[in-house]
Structure 1
């Protein structure tokens, strides 16, 4: 869709090179089975995809979910046609997607990241894209996004050469960390924050409000 949209803006209405694929019947890998990862897995099963999920501590809802199989990270990396990241950034998950794991992904894999930018080694991703091994990437986050995302750089220009290179790929779609930016999500965030503060102030700390 991104490539087609770009072409139409240039008044190019041809279909050459725009053949896509159905999600139905594909294998979708979901890394992280928290609230969002679990919802994403459920949506993918609704499209008729086979879902592989990995999490060191998988959610109870994901376990036994029809169409979802819990597996190892390495099997998920090697077997998935689409891989979506839904995990927090920790020392263990920093550059979880690195050159080695990118090389073991299926040719043409689609990589999605709406979690944290540093989950992906961006320079390694660029090399995999240049080699044609990665079919495409959809990124709402970037590992060096601070000072860039949420700002208007249209006049000052972009000083980050890595991001500038990433933006040149026609099969890469980048948004500026805005997956949360809906009226409903903002209302939900505010409600959960107030609920957590209330429970903290009354000594009833919810699982979401606990400080680890």
Structure 2
């Protein structure tokens, strides 16, 4: 199969080439797939895209006209694709639902500990010979209440880790996970917001979860709450988050995603002036840590992403059952 892989980085090429036991013909394009780069996909039976490739109905119609039969997402979420249009134009979509839930869960814990114990500030101080402890005060995670929104594979892994810390766990998810029920209890969102010292987001981005964290929900939260998001940026209303930080309602924030990340993340912007005022405002807070969508970024995850993506396409090509078909 001829595959056009967009938003390619050197590590994508390395792992996809290594896992390509199917002998697919892969062409790597560093550019995002958009209306300007759509012509590059012409003649490819399959295209492979990532989280920041936005695929509209118009683009899907064009892809179908030019011979594309399959769209392979090398990520779990599919909110960046018009699925109904794919059905209309008979393009099948597959994804990688569980490349490494441990990677994302562990990164979430890393953000939590770094924020709580001010590791970033302590590291810089020691390098300058400053060993004072003022401003580095944290809290015991043991005994705190942790609210987990979304209890799929990643939420479950995070819950198991936090249970090991000796925390009280509250969950919200329309579909309850029996393994999480053994670790804590499911409740409504209002109770979770009211009682949690730490709130961690692990749910997909859908219309009902868009801006789940907003002015109204922040007003219900505990004073000095910690908010963690390693899922999808638009789960949080950035302006409401900034307001909560400025008013000291929110104690700290750890983000691996951002709702307007498409033009920033996965690129080197160090020599440019970033025009996103909300993002730049977030970077000024001493109690905010932002990483550039790297929670998934482990060797295990990259291997699994490549292997599963290529297996998905091979299953589709030979009309076998594809377990990761988006329907």
TM-score using structure 2 length:
0.61
Larger relative contact order, structure 1 or 2 (CA cutoff 8 Å, min sep 6):
2
Q: Which residue matches 1:13?
A: 131
Instruction: Give the Cα–Cα distance (whole angstroms) in 2 for the partners of residues 74 and 23 of structure 1.
Output: 22
SS in 2 for 1:196: helix
Q: Which residue matches 1:80?
A: 196
Instruction: Give the Cα–Cα distance (whole angstroms) in 1 for the partners of residues 158 and 267 of structure 2.
Output: 29
Instruction: Give the Cα–Cα distance (whole angstroms) in 2 for the partners of residues 4 and 15 of structure 1.
Output: 8
**1:202, CA displacement in angstroms?**
4.5
* 53-62 vs 137-146, which moves further: 53-62
Structure 2 unaligned runs (5+)?
1-118
Contact map agreement 1:2 1:171 (CA 8 A) in 2 = no
Instruction: Give the Cα–Cα distance (whole angstroms) in 2 for the partners of residues 147 and 18 of structure 1.
Output: 34
Q: Which residue matches 2:291?
A: 175
Q: How does 1:143-158 map to 2 (within 5 A)?
A: 143-158=259-274
Displacement over 4 Å in runs of 4+: 198-202
**1:10, CA displacement in angstroms?**
4.9
Structure 1 unaligned runs (5+)?
none
**1:195, CA displacement in angstroms?**
4.0
Q: Which residue matches 1:163?
A: 279
From 45, 49, 63, the equivalent of 2:167 is 49
**1:17, CA displacement in angstroms?**
2.1
* 183-192 vs 7-16, which moves further: 7-16
Residues 92-141 of structure 1 deviation map (CA, whole Å, 9 limit, x = unaligned) = 11000001111111111110000000000011000100111111000000
Instruction: Give the Cα–Cα distance (whole angstroms) in 2 for the partners of residues 199 and 58 of structure 1.
Output: 31
TM-score using structure 1 length:
0.92
Tell me whether 1:29 sits opposite 2:142 in the alignment: no
SS in 1 for 2:179: coil
CA 58–155 in structure 1, closer or farther in 2 if over 3 Å, else same:
same
Larger Rg: 2
Tell me whether 1:128 sits opposite 2:244 in the alignment: yes
**1:184, CA displacement in angstroms?**
1.1
* 111-120 vs 54-63, which moves further: 54-63
Contact map agreement 1:32 1:58 (CA 8 A) in 2 = no
Q: How does 1:75-114 map to 2 (within 5 A)?
A: 75-114=191-230
How many residues were matched structurally?
Answer: 208
Residues 133-174 of structure 1 deviation map (CA, whole Å, 9 limit, x = unaligned) = 111000000100111111111111211111000000010000
**1:187, CA displacement in angstroms?**
1.3
**1:22, CA displacement in angstroms?**
1.4
Q: Which residue matches 1:203?
A: 320
CA 191–125 in structure 1, closer or farther in 2 if over 3 Å, else same:
same
Instruction: Give the Cα–Cα distance (whole angstroms) in 1 for the partners of residues 170 and 299 of structure 2.
Output: 31
Instruction: Give the Cα–Cα distance (whole angstroms) in 2 for the partners of residues 15 and 77 of structure 1.
Output: 31
